[in-house]
Amino acid sequence: MGEPVIAEKRPAVLELEPGSYWWCRCGQSKSQPWCDGSHKGTEFSPIEVVIDTKKKVAMCQCKHSAKIPFCDGSHKNL
């Protein structure tokens, strides 16, 4: 698989309501950290994120986290 585009070198810290979200894996979405379909025609596909209870999360935007789709600080080494 090729390298994703680094959307930002910092996480998106969000308070999410319960529900299903689609995290952008390719880095090309204009709706970061969420998928807007920009991956079409590439080898990438979004990852479904299911939130059971309202909570604050740090979503990876560098696309290099070992804990995808959540930030693990990998952006500090890019």
The helix, strand and coil proportions of the chain, stated in percent and rounded to the nearest 5, come to 5, 30, 65
Asked if residue 7 belongs to a domain, the reply is no
Separation of alpha carbons 22 and 59, rounded Å: 11
Q: What is the pLDDT of residues 17-76, one digit of tens each?
A: 999 999 999 999 999 999 999 999 999 999 999 999 999 999 999 999 999 999 999 999
Asked if residue 4 belongs to a domain, the reply is no
The count of domains in the chain is 1
Whether the pLDDT of residue 1 is over 90: the answer is no
Asked if residue 1 belongs to a domain, the reply is no
* Residue the block writes with tokens 């969000």: 14
- The range of the structural domain enclosing residue 51 comes to 12-77
Asked if residue 5 belongs to a domain, the reply is no
Asked if residue 22 belongs to a domain, the reply is yes
Asked if residue 48 belongs to a domain, the reply is yes
Asked if residue 49 belongs to a domain, the reply is yes
Model pTM score: 0.92
Q: What is the pLDDT of residue 2?
A: 85
| Conformational region of residue 63, where left means phi above 0, alpha means psi within -120 to 50, and beta covers everything else | left
